[in-house]
Amino acid sequence: MKLSFAACLLFVCTSFVHANDGQRVDPMHTQHPDHLRGTIYSLLQPERHEQIVGEPWEKILKRGATDIRIRYSSVKPVPVQLAPLAAGEKKMEFADVLFAVLPAASSGDVLVSVTSSPLWNESNEGIVFETYGVRGSEANIHSTEAENNSSPTLKGNAYLQQFFRPTWFYLTAENFLYGYRIADIPVTYFFAVIFAVLSLLLFALKRDLLKAVSFAAIITITLFHGRFMKDLATNTMSDAMRWNNEGTFSEMADTFAISNDLKQETEATSLAYCGDNETPLQYFVFPHWFGTWETSSLAVLTSAQWFVERNTIYCVSNNTIRARSGSILKTYPHGWALARFSAYQ
C-alpha cells in the first residue's frame, strides 16, 4: 500500500500528461484529515507565500453513480476527495470519503470510481467531491459528470473492497471504531447471519442447541477477529515501520520532529499554535506552554494552514486568518514549520 502510494506520488509529481479519454484513476484509502493535509502538502509543494485551498464540495446527482468523470487542466497534480451521495439526509463520515490524485495535465479526462466507499450502493443519489490546489494556480475543472457503469462483477468487487477496507486507528480509536460496512450496512449483520446459519447447521448435526450455539459463537468470533486482526496487525506493522523510517506515525505528522527541536529551546518562551488541535503537541513540548498568537515568541504552524507574505506569517484556522510579522526558522517534511515572530528576533 505504502509502495503504491509512493509510486503514485512519484508519478503525479513528475509527469505532466495529456490524459487519455476516461483514464482511470484509482482512489486510495481515506486518510484522517490531519494526515491528509500533510499528503496534499507533499503533493502540491507550495512555496512559503502560497496557500493551499479547497474548493467547496460539489454535488452531482445521478442515482447509483459508480464513477465521476472529470475533465480538467492543471499544472500541478490535483488532490480530490470524493464520496457517494447517500440517499436521504444521512451524514457523511470521514471514513466514507475517498482520496484520489489526478495527474497534472493540459487536457485531462479521468474517471474515478467511488464504489470502494462503504457508503456506496445502488440507491445512492450521486457523487460529491472537492478539489485542492494552490491559491492562484488551482486546476481548471472544465466539466464533471457522474456515470453509472454498474455490472454484477463490479458490484461484487465493490462489496469485497468495502469489506476489506481498513478501519481507522487514530487518536480517537480508543473511544470508538468507525466499523466495517458493506453497501452502508454494518458487517455485524452479515456475521450475525453467519452465526445463525452455523448454529442451525450444528444443531441439525448435534441436536444440542447450547452446544451448537457455543461452537457457532466461537467460529463467528474467530472469523470476525480474523478480519479485525488483519487491520490491527497491518496498522501495528505500519506504525512501527513508519516510526523507524520516518520518525512519525499515524496522524502525528511532524509533531515529534518539531517537539524535539522545541526541547532544545532553552530560552524561556511562549508558543503559539496554528492548527486545529494542539493537545498532542502540548504534551510533547511540556514544560513549554501554548499561549496566544499575539503574545508568543515562537509559533508552530501545521500543514496547509499557513503561508508567508512580505515577512508576515498568516495562519488560517477555523475560518479565521491571523497575521503577525516574523520569519520561518525551519520547515518539516509534512508541511509543518517553526516560526519566530519579529519582536523576538
Partner 1 sequence: MTALFFILTAAMLSFEGVLILSFILPGKRHLPLVAGFSYPLGVFVNGLLFFIFTALHLKLSPTTIWIGHIALIVLLVAGTYLHAQSDSAIPTLSPVSQKQKHPWLTGLFLITAASTLIGAVVYVWLPLHVWDAYTNWNFRALQAFTDHEFLFYGVYKPQYPIVLQSLQVLFATSSGWSDPVVNGATYLLSLTTFVSIFLLLRTSYGSLVASIVCAAFATVPVAAIHLRQGYADIHVAGYVVLSALLLDLYARTNNWRYLLVSGFFVAAAAWTKIDGLYLGVIPWTVLSTWTMWKGKQLTNKKAWTIMISIITVSGLWMAFLSFRGLILSPHENTFALQWHPRNIKLISEEIFLQTSLGMHWWILIVTFCVLIIDQRKKEALKTMLLNPLFLWSSMTLLVVIFTYMFTGEGHQLPRHASLPRVMLTPTFLFSMSFVVLVANVIQTNVVRLTRFTARAGTQEQAAGLQSSTPPSSPPSRA
Task: HSE, CB side, 13 Å, CA atoms: give it for residue 250.
Answer: 14
Query: Which positions ≥6 away from 302 have C-beta within 8 Å?
Result: 34, 37, 253, 254, 273, 274, 275, 276, 335, 336
Q: Which helix (H) or strand (E) holds 218?
A: helix 209-246
Q: Does 177 bind partner 1 (CB under 8 A)?
A: yes
How many positions of this chain bind partner 1 (CB under 8 A)?
51
Q: Which is nearer to partner 1, 137 or 172 (CB)?
A: 172
C-alpha cell at 278: 494542539
Query: Are 99 and 79 spatial neighbours (Cβ–Cβ below 8 Å)?
Result: yes
Q: Does 130 bind partner 1 (CB under 8 A)?
A: no
Q: Which is nearer to partner 1, 195 or 307 (CB)?
A: 195
Choices 67-75, 79-87, 148-156, 165-173; region in contact with partner 1 by CB under 8 A: 165-173
Q: Does 211 bind partner 1 (CB under 8 A)?
A: yes
Binder among 88, 153, 204, 210 for partner 1 (CB under 8 A) = 210
Smallest distance from partner 1 to CB 329, Å: 23
Q: Does 289 bind partner 1 (CB under 8 A)?
A: no
Q: What is the DSSP string of 83-132?
A: EEE-STTPPPPGGG-EEEEEPEEEEEEEEEE-TTSTT--TT--EEEEEEE
Q: Which is nearer to partner 1, 240 or 321 (CB)?
A: 240
Query: Are 169 and 249 spatial neighbours (Cβ–Cβ below 8 Å)?
Result: no
Binder among 129, 180, 273, 341 for partner 1 (CB under 8 A) = 180
Query: Which one, of 261, 264, 263, 234, lies nearest residue 249 by Cα?
Result: 234
**Using CB under 8 A, which residues numbered 241 to 280 contact partner 1?**
243, 249-250, 252, 256, 279-280
Rounded Cα–Cα distance for residues 239 and 334 (Å): 16
Q: Which is nearer to partner 1, 209 or 329 (CB)?
A: 209
Choices 84-92, 182-190, 261-269, 334-342; region in contact with partner 1 by CB under 8 A: 182-190
Q: Which is nearer to partner 1, 7 or 240 (CB)?
A: 240
The CA-atom distances, in angstroms, between 244 and each of 168, 237, 248, 283 are 21, 11, 8, 21
Smallest distance from partner 1 to CB 227, Å: 9
Q: Which is nearer to partner 1, 200 or 328 (CB)?
A: 200
Binder among 13, 92, 187, 316 for partner 1 (CB under 8 A) = 187
The residue assigned the cell 500500500 is 1
Secondary structure of residue 138 in the 3-state scheme? coil
Query: Which positions ≥6 away from 152 have C-beta within 8 Å?
Result: none
Residues in touch with partner 1 (CB under 8 A)? 167, 169, 171-180, 186-189, 191-192, 195, 199, 209-211, 213-214, 217-218, 220-222, 224-225, 228-229, 232-233, 236, 239-240, 243, 249-250, 252, 256, 279-280, 282-284, 286-287
